[in-house]
Amino acid sequence: DIQMTQSPASLSASLGETVTIECLASEDIYSNLAWYQQKPGKSPQLLIYYANSLNDGVPSRFSGSGSGTQYSLKINSLQSEDVSIYFCQQNYDSPYTFGAGTKLELK
Amino acid sequence: QVQLKETGPDLVQLTQTLSITCTVSGFSLTTYNVHWVRQPPGKGLEWMGAMWNGGGTDYNSAFKSRLSISRDTSKSQVFLKMNSLQTDDTAKYFCARHTMGISFDYWGQGVMVTVSS
Protein backbone atom coordinates (compact mmCIF):
# COMPACT_ATOMS: atom_id res chain seq x y z
CA ASP A 1 0.00 0.00 0.00
CA ILE A 2 1.13 3.58 -0.67
CA GLN A 3 1.67 5.49 2.57
CA MET A 4 0.85 9.20 2.68
CA THR A 5 2.77 11.19 5.29
CA GLN A 6 1.17 14.57 5.88
CA SER A 7 2.74 17.43 7.83
CA PRO A 8 2.33 19.27 10.02
CA ALA A 9 -0.36 17.56 12.08
CA SER A 10 -1.54 20.95 13.29
CA LEU A 11 -0.90 24.51 12.31
CA SER A 12 -1.75 27.86 13.84
CA ALA A 13 -1.68 30.95 11.65
CA SER A 14 -2.94 34.53 11.59
CA LEU A 15 -5.50 36.04 9.25
CA GLY A 16 -3.87 37.12 6.01
CA GLU A 17 -0.91 34.79 6.46
CA THR A 18 0.22 32.20 3.90
CA VAL A 19 0.29 28.57 5.04
CA THR A 20 1.67 25.43 3.45
CA ILE A 21 0.76 21.82 4.14
CA GLU A 22 2.85 19.00 2.77
CA CYS A 23 2.22 15.41 1.78
CA LEU A 24 4.86 12.80 1.05
CA ALA A 25 3.98 9.60 -0.76
CA SER A 26 5.93 6.40 -0.15
CA GLU A 27 6.32 5.97 -3.91
CA ASP A 28 5.81 7.96 -7.08
CA ILE A 29 2.10 8.71 -7.55
CA TYR A 30 2.53 10.64 -10.81
CA SER A 31 0.57 13.70 -9.63
CA ASN A 32 -2.51 11.63 -8.75
CA LEU A 33 -2.98 13.63 -5.58
CA ALA A 34 -6.06 15.36 -4.22
CA TRP A 35 -6.57 17.76 -1.33
CA TYR A 36 -9.77 17.95 0.71
CA GLN A 37 -11.08 20.38 3.30
CA GLN A 38 -13.27 19.11 6.11
CA LYS A 39 -15.12 21.34 8.54
CA PRO A 40 -16.43 19.97 11.86
CA GLY A 41 -19.38 17.66 11.43
CA LYS A 42 -19.29 17.97 7.63
CA SER A 43 -18.16 15.75 4.80
CA PRO A 44 -14.84 16.42 3.05
CA GLN A 45 -14.89 18.84 0.13
CA LEU A 46 -12.54 18.52 -2.84
CA LEU A 47 -10.18 21.50 -3.19
CA ILE A 48 -7.44 20.37 -5.57
CA TYR A 49 -7.14 17.39 -7.91
CA TYR A 50 -4.29 16.05 -9.99
CA ALA A 51 -1.88 17.87 -7.69
CA ASN A 52 -2.51 21.40 -8.99
CA SER A 53 -5.99 21.69 -10.55
CA LEU A 54 -8.45 23.83 -8.63
CA ASN A 55 -11.90 22.30 -8.24
CA ASP A 56 -14.86 24.38 -9.40
CA GLY A 57 -15.91 27.04 -6.91
CA VAL A 58 -12.76 26.82 -4.80
CA PRO A 59 -11.22 30.24 -4.06
CA SER A 60 -8.04 31.05 -5.97
CA ARG A 61 -6.11 31.56 -2.72
CA PHE A 62 -5.84 27.76 -2.60
CA SER A 63 -3.17 26.19 -4.79
CA GLY A 64 -1.47 22.83 -5.10
CA SER A 65 1.92 21.84 -6.41
CA GLY A 66 4.30 18.94 -6.50
CA SER A 67 5.26 15.85 -8.43
CA GLY A 68 6.68 12.42 -7.87
CA THR A 69 6.41 11.76 -4.15
CA GLN A 70 6.26 15.32 -2.77
CA TYR A 71 3.18 17.55 -2.81
CA SER A 72 1.99 20.67 -1.09
CA LEU A 73 -1.14 22.73 -0.55
CA LYS A 74 -0.73 26.48 -0.15
CA ILE A 75 -3.33 28.85 1.21
CA ASN A 76 -2.63 32.51 0.53
CA SER A 77 -4.12 35.29 2.62
CA LEU A 78 -5.72 33.03 5.23
CA GLN A 79 -9.38 33.72 5.93
CA SER A 80 -11.41 32.76 9.01
CA GLU A 81 -13.48 30.31 6.95
CA ASP A 82 -10.31 28.35 6.12
CA VAL A 83 -10.19 26.95 9.67
CA SER A 84 -10.63 23.24 8.93
CA ILE A 85 -8.87 19.93 8.72
CA TYR A 86 -7.09 19.28 5.43
CA PHE A 87 -6.40 15.82 4.01
CA CYS A 88 -4.35 14.68 1.05
CA GLN A 89 -5.24 11.50 -0.86
CA GLN A 90 -3.45 9.54 -3.53
CA ASN A 91 -5.59 8.35 -6.43
CA TYR A 92 -2.84 6.46 -8.19
CA ASP A 93 -3.33 2.97 -6.83
CA SER A 94 -5.73 1.01 -4.68
CA PRO A 95 -6.14 1.32 -1.72
CA TYR A 96 -6.60 5.05 -2.27
CA THR A 97 -4.93 6.16 0.93
CA PHE A 98 -5.32 9.43 2.77
CA GLY A 99 -2.87 11.45 4.81
CA ALA A 100 -3.57 11.70 8.53
CA GLY A 101 -4.78 15.27 8.23
CA THR A 102 -3.65 18.78 9.21
CA LYS A 103 -5.74 20.79 11.64
CA LEU A 104 -5.54 24.48 10.76
CA GLU A 105 -6.45 26.97 13.46
CA LEU A 106 -6.32 30.73 13.79
CA LYS A 107 -3.67 32.26 15.98
CA GLN B 1 -27.83 18.48 -9.11
CA VAL B 2 -25.49 15.77 -7.91
CA GLN B 3 -26.42 14.30 -4.54
CA LEU B 4 -25.47 11.25 -2.52
CA LYS B 5 -27.23 10.20 0.65
CA GLU B 6 -26.31 7.41 3.02
CA THR B 7 -28.96 5.62 5.05
CA GLY B 8 -28.31 3.03 7.68
CA PRO B 9 -28.56 2.16 11.35
CA ASP B 10 -27.25 4.36 14.15
CA LEU B 11 -26.38 1.37 16.28
CA VAL B 12 -25.16 -2.12 15.46
CA GLN B 13 -24.47 -4.88 17.95
CA LEU B 14 -21.01 -6.36 18.33
CA THR B 15 -20.29 -9.16 15.79
CA GLN B 16 -23.37 -8.28 13.77
CA THR B 17 -23.58 -7.06 10.17
CA LEU B 18 -23.70 -3.44 9.01
CA SER B 19 -25.75 -2.51 5.95
CA ILE B 20 -25.69 1.00 4.51
CA THR B 21 -27.35 2.27 1.33
CA CYS B 22 -26.02 5.15 -0.74
CA THR B 23 -28.75 6.63 -2.91
CA VAL B 24 -27.48 8.92 -5.65
CA SER B 25 -29.14 11.45 -7.91
CA GLY B 26 -27.98 13.74 -10.68
CA PHE B 27 -25.69 11.17 -12.27
CA SER B 28 -25.67 7.58 -13.41
CA LEU B 29 -23.94 4.71 -11.64
CA THR B 30 -23.03 3.34 -15.07
CA THR B 31 -21.01 6.49 -15.81
CA TYR B 32 -19.38 7.29 -12.47
CA ASN B 33 -17.69 5.26 -9.76
CA VAL B 34 -18.86 5.36 -6.15
CA HIS B 35 -16.50 4.80 -3.24
CA TRP B 36 -16.95 4.18 0.47
CA VAL B 37 -14.83 6.00 3.04
CA ARG B 38 -15.13 5.90 6.81
CA GLN B 39 -13.95 8.15 9.62
CA PRO B 40 -13.79 7.10 13.28
CA PRO B 41 -14.67 9.90 15.71
CA GLY B 42 -11.88 12.47 15.85
CA LYS B 43 -9.70 10.51 13.44
CA GLY B 44 -8.74 10.48 9.78
CA LEU B 45 -10.29 9.10 6.61
CA GLU B 46 -10.01 5.46 5.58
CA TRP B 47 -10.81 4.27 2.06
CA MET B 48 -12.89 1.11 2.19
CA GLY B 49 -13.76 0.17 -1.35
CA ALA B 50 -15.32 1.07 -4.64
CA MET B 51 -18.09 0.19 -7.05
CA TRP B 52 -16.80 0.85 -10.53
CA ASN B 53 -19.11 2.19 -13.22
CA GLY B 54 -18.73 -1.06 -15.14
CA GLY B 55 -20.04 -3.08 -12.19
CA GLY B 56 -16.73 -4.32 -10.82
CA THR B 57 -15.61 -3.77 -7.25
CA ASP B 58 -12.38 -3.04 -5.40
CA TYR B 59 -11.76 -3.49 -1.71
CA ASN B 60 -9.22 -2.37 0.85
CA SER B 61 -7.54 -5.57 1.96
CA ALA B 62 -7.61 -4.18 5.54
CA PHE B 63 -11.20 -5.34 5.64
CA LYS B 64 -10.26 -8.79 4.40
CA SER B 65 -13.40 -10.68 3.47
CA ARG B 66 -15.72 -8.75 5.83
CA LEU B 67 -16.72 -6.16 3.24
CA SER B 68 -19.08 -6.41 0.29
CA ILE B 69 -20.17 -3.65 -2.09
CA SER B 70 -22.99 -4.04 -4.59
CA ARG B 71 -25.43 -1.88 -6.51
CA ASP B 72 -28.88 -1.62 -8.05
CA THR B 73 -28.57 0.69 -11.03
CA SER B 74 -32.35 0.81 -11.54
CA LYS B 75 -32.69 2.39 -8.11
CA SER B 76 -29.45 4.41 -8.29
CA GLN B 77 -28.25 2.75 -5.13
CA VAL B 78 -24.92 1.39 -3.94
CA PHE B 79 -24.82 -0.92 -0.95
CA LEU B 80 -22.15 -1.51 1.68
CA LYS B 81 -22.32 -4.61 3.80
CA MET B 82 -19.74 -5.45 6.45
CA ASN B 83 -19.93 -8.34 8.86
CA SER B 84 -18.33 -9.28 12.17
CA LEU B 85 -18.43 -5.71 13.45
CA GLN B 86 -16.14 -4.72 16.29
CA THR B 87 -16.08 -1.60 18.47
CA ASP B 88 -13.33 -0.07 16.32
CA ASP B 89 -15.75 -0.11 13.38
CA THR B 90 -17.57 2.75 15.11
CA ALA B 91 -17.29 5.54 12.55
CA LYS B 92 -19.05 7.87 10.19
CA TYR B 93 -19.46 6.12 6.85
CA PHE B 94 -19.45 8.19 3.66
CA CYS B 95 -20.13 7.40 0.04
CA ALA B 96 -18.47 9.60 -2.56
CA ARG B 97 -18.61 10.00 -6.31
CA HIS B 98 -15.36 9.45 -8.13
CA THR B 99 -14.76 11.23 -11.41
CA MET B 100 -11.76 9.73 -13.17
CA GLY B 101 -8.91 12.22 -13.28
CA ILE B 102 -10.64 14.45 -10.74
CA SER B 103 -11.02 12.28 -7.62
CA PHE B 104 -13.87 12.32 -5.10
CA ASP B 105 -15.81 15.36 -6.22
CA TYR B 106 -19.11 14.84 -4.39
CA TRP B 107 -19.70 13.28 -0.97
CA GLY B 108 -22.74 12.26 0.99
CA GLN B 109 -23.39 13.69 4.43
CA GLY B 110 -22.33 10.43 6.03
CA VAL B 111 -24.03 8.15 8.54
CA MET B 112 -22.64 7.73 12.03
CA VAL B 113 -22.64 4.10 13.13
CA THR B 114 -21.88 3.01 16.67
CA VAL B 115 -20.98 -0.60 17.42
CA SER B 116 -22.26 -1.52 20.83
CA SER B 117 -21.51 -4.45 23.04
Determine the average pLDDT of the residues in B39-43. Answer: 97
Chain-centre distance for alpha carbon B57? 12
CA-CA distance, A77 to B13, in Å (whole number)?
48
How much is the CA Rg of chain B, to the nearest whole Å?
13
| CB contacts, 8 Å: B60 with chain A | 94-95
pLDDT tens for residues A67-96?
999 999 999 999 999 999 999 999 999 999
Whether B36 and chain A come into contact, CB under 8 Å, resolves to no
Measure CB to CB from residue B110 to each of A43, A55, A94 and give the nearest one: A43
Q: What is the pLDDT of residue A46?
A: 98
B45, B93, B95, B102, best to mutate vs chain A, most A CBs in 10 Å: B45
| CB contacts, 8 Å: A91 with chain B | 103
Q: What is the pLDDT of residue B72?
A: 98
CA-CA distance, B25 to A96, in Å (whole number)?
24
Q: What is the pLDDT of residue B4?
A: 98
Determine the average pLDDT of the residues in B79-108. Answer: 96
Whether B64 shows a pLDDT value over 80: the answer reads: no
Residues of chain A with pLDDT under 70: none
Helices and strands (H and E) in chain B: how many: 0, 11
Q: What is the pLDDT of residue A7?
A: 96
Kindly indicate the confidence band of residue B117, based on its pLDDT and cuts at 50, 70 and 90: confident
Determine the average pLDDT of the residues in B20-29. Answer: 98
Whether B94 and chain A come into contact, CB under 8 Å, resolves to yes
Q: What is the pLDDT of residue A55?
A: 97
Q: Do the strands B91-99 and B103-107 form a parallel or antiparallel pair, or are they unpaired?
A: antiparallel
Measure CB to CB from residue B103 to each of A42, A91, A100 and give the nearest one: A91
Give me the percent of chain B exceeding a pLDDT of 90.
Answer: 95
Q: What is the pLDDT of residue A95?
A: 96
Farthest CA pair distance, chain B? 42
Number of inter-chain CB pairs under 8 A, A vs B: 57
